[in-house]
Amino acid sequence: MNQDGKPSRCLGAWIGQSVATWARCYRGLLTLVVVGGLVLVGCGAPSTSSQGTLSTPTLSGVALDKVFVDGMVPHHQAALDMARAELSKGRDLRVKALAQNIAESQTREIGQMRAIARRIGAAPPAREWSAPMGTLMGVPISMNMPQMGSMVASAAHPDQAFLLLMIPHHASAIVMADEEATDGADPELKTLSQSIYTDQAAQIGQMQQLLAAGTT
């Protein structure tokens, strides 16, 4: 981000990318580099890291259902933390309205996933993602999810920080939800994952438009 608070040329290159492009990026490798409390995003070739492997065995059925709820609950919690920070620190009413929508929907979905986890015999999902950064359902995870809320709250431009962090966060959720909808077993969870895909794809579009238009 430039000193005047506007997205840099590097960031501008991906603001207009489609959900399909984001998904292809994540299927390869999504590299997140923290710069001044925000993130720059780019695609690269698959590799390994000391923090974790970038490949996981293919799962399906009930095994995938359990991995999905175990990963998506803390993933949602990070989004909820960012949304609450935006509602507290943000200034742009359009961005705050989006954050309110995200907070409400993801709070509801966390409750639903916890109930599903109990029903299918999965371990209670953790509130926060605490494992070493590597992959989550085969999706490269390089963002420090427990810290994302505080990153928005402490940013000089919280509205932009919220949008710039939430877009890649939503993109990884879309890839995970698509996998569950395709290869999972539980009908309720598959329906929920389809809703997550649709809702968050639409929200990425909203966020891209807000970034392109400029926040107040």
Go through the domains of the chain in sequence order and give each one's CATH number.
9-213 (1.20.1260.10)
Q: Which residues contact 130 (CB under 8 A, 6 or more apart)?
A: 74, 146
The model's confidence at residue 49, banded by pLDDT at 50, 70 and 90, is: very low
The model's confidence at residue 15, banded by pLDDT at 50, 70 and 90, is: very low
Number of H helices, E strands in the chain: 7, 4
Distance CA 130, CA 153 (A): 21
Strand partners, 34: 39
Q: Tell me what pLDDT residue 27 has.
A: 41
Which of 125-134, 175-184, 190-199, 205-214 is predicted least confidently? 125-134
Both tokens of 112, joined, read 């639903």
Both tokens of 134, joined, read 């590597």
Q: Tell me what pLDDT residue 149 has.
A: 87
Q: How far is CA 204 from CA 53, 132, 164, 197, in A?
A: 27, 27, 10, 11
Is residue 133 pLDDT above 60, yes or no? no
Q: Tell me what pLDDT residue 127 has.
A: 78
Mean pLDDT of the chain: 75
Strand partners, 41: 32
The model's confidence at residue 126, banded by pLDDT at 50, 70 and 90, is: confident
- The more confidently predicted of residues 169 and 8 is 169
- The more confidently predicted of residues 24 and 208 is 208
Q: Which residues contact 128 (CB under 8 A, 6 or more apart)?
A: 74, 77, 78, 145, 146
Is residue 112 pLDDT above 90, yes or no? yes
Contact of 38 with 155, CB cutoff 8 Å: yes
Distance CA 56, CA 177 (A): 16
Is residue 1 pLDDT above 60, yes or no? no
Q: Tell me what pLDDT residue 147 has.
A: 78
Which of 50-59, 130-139, 188-197 is predicted most confidently?
188-197
Distance CA 178, CA 73 (A): 16
Rounded mean pLDDT of 145-164?
89
Contact of 95 with 208, CB cutoff 8 Å: no
How would you class 94 by CB atoms within 10 Å of its CB: exposed for 0-12, middle for 13-18, buried for 19 or more? middle
Q: Tell me what pLDDT residue 138 has.
A: 54
Q: Tell me what pLDDT residue 141 has.
A: 52
Distance CA 144, CA 34 (A): 10
Distance CA 31, CA 214 (A): 25
